[in-house]
């Protein structure tokens, strides 16, 4: 099985692929989220694992837009505990480090740690990519912030692990494939819809779930492209579209919604 992820080998996304799909899958590194989605659409990979939100930094909005743009289905979710490492070329001491390079989210999650050490942050395209760049440069006054796996892949040295400012640092990933799945255990369903901009429209939309005691675990609004000041609403709810109560709620929502699409029903992650 081939599974696409965004980033270089050793990225947190690749670790999440192995944790979710198993060690026997073949990972397909992609330079961008667009390329990652295209790889599944074009049949170059069987599935992808996309980060959709981080417990500290919030949602990855580009992947919400890509889910809507492509005729693919969410088939699972996975939560990864993110532990950042301060990584250097072998033999470099912590007091030698003047600058740290990494993805902007990783730098932001380690901002206080870097500030306390007087290390200047510098943004690059990827966490694992920062380790690759550091190895190629051979710099002795620069560190990278990335995963333990990235350090091992590139033969680099870890000065300190768990340097994130907040230990409750998790990234939620969505597994996405070409065919929809029918979850047999406790399920989650993701939908996206738009509404007419009239008084009470969002209240009525939310009421279809409240009246049936359906638990909503996430609500996200995104601009509707091509229509300024109009919005799409993404919702995650507990239950499967195969469930009669959920189906009735969606039927009821369709009475108010201008557009409504089910992105997928999938097993709820139990960490």
Q: How far is CA 113 from CA 4, 110, 117, in A?
A: 32, 5, 7
The answer to whether 104 and 43 are in contact (CB under 8 A) is: no
Q: Give the count of alpha carbons within 13 A of 61, CB side only.
A: 7
Q: What tens digit of pLDDT does each residue of 213-236 get? A: 999 999 999 998 888 888 999 999
Q: What tens digit of pLDDT does each residue of 11-54 get? A: 999 999 999 999 999 999 999 999 999 999 999 999 999 999 99
Q: What tens digit of pLDDT does each residue of 192-217 get? A: 999 998 999 999 999 999 999 999 99
Identify whether residues 193 and 64 lie together within a single domain: no
The residues assigned a catalytic role are 171, 173
Looking at residue 164, what is its pLDDT?
A: 94
Q: What percent of the chain has pLDDT over 70?
A: 100
CA distance 220 to 238: 16
Looking at residue 251, what is its pLDDT?
A: 97
Q: What tens digit of pLDDT does each residue of 114-168 get? A: 999 999 999 998 999 999 999 999 999 999 999 999 999 999 999 999 999 999 9
Secondary element (H or E) of residue 113:
helix 111-117
- Tokens describing residue 119: 């290390």
What total number of domains does the chain contain?
A: 3
Q: What tens digit of pLDDT does each residue of 114-127 get? A: 999 999 999 998 99
User: For the whole model, what pTM was predicted?
Assistant: 0.92
Looking at residue 57, what is its pLDDT?
A: 81
Q: List the CATH number of the domain containing 38.
A: 3.40.190.10
Domain span at residue 241 reads: 187-267
Q: Does residue 153 belong to any structural domain of this protein?
A: yes
pLDDT at residue 185 above 90?
Answer: no
Identify whether residues 65 and 173 lie together within a single domain: yes
Residue ending a domain, choose from 145, 177, 209: 177
Identify whether residues 55 and 173 lie together within a single domain: yes
Looking at residue 227, what is its pLDDT?
A: 85
State the DSSP code for 268: P
Looking at residue 230, what is its pLDDT?
A: 87
pLDDT at residue 110 above 80?
Answer: yes
Looking at residue 229, what is its pLDDT?
A: 85
């Amino acid at each position: 099985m081939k599974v696409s992820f965004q980033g270089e080998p050793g990225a947190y996304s690749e670790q999440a692929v192995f944790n979710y799909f198993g060690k026997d899958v073949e990972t397909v590194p992609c330079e961008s989220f667009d390329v990652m989605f295209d790889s599944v659409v074009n049949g170059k990979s069987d599935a992808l694992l996309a980060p959709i939100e981080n417990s500290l930094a919030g949602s990855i909005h580009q992947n919400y837009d890509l889910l809507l743009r492509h005729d693919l289905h969410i088939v699972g979710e996975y939560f990864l505990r993110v532990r950042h490492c301060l990584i250097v070329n072998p033999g470099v001491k912590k007091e030698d480090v003047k600058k740290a390079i990494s993805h902007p989210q990783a730098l932001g999650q380690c901002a206080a740690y870097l500030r306390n050490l007087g290390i200047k942050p510098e943004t690059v395209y990827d966490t694992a990519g920062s380790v690759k760049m550091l190895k190629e440069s051979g710099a002795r006054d620069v560190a990278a912030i990335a995963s333990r796996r990235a350090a091992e892949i590139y033969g680099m040295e870890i000065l300190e692990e768990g340097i994130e400012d907040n230990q409750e640092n998790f990234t939620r990933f969505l597994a996405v494939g070409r065919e929809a799945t029918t979850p047999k255990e406790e399920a989650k369903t993701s939908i996206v819809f738009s509404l007419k901009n009239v008084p009470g429209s969002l209240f009525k939309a939310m009421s279809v779930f409240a009246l049936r005691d359906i638990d909503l675990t996430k609500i996200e609004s995104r601009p509707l492209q091509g229509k300024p000041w109009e919005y799409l609403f993404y919702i995650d709810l507990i239950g499967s579209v195969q469930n009669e109560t959920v189906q009735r709620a969606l039927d009821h929502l369709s009475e108010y919604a201008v557009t409504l699409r089910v992105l997928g029903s999938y097993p709820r992650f139990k960490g």
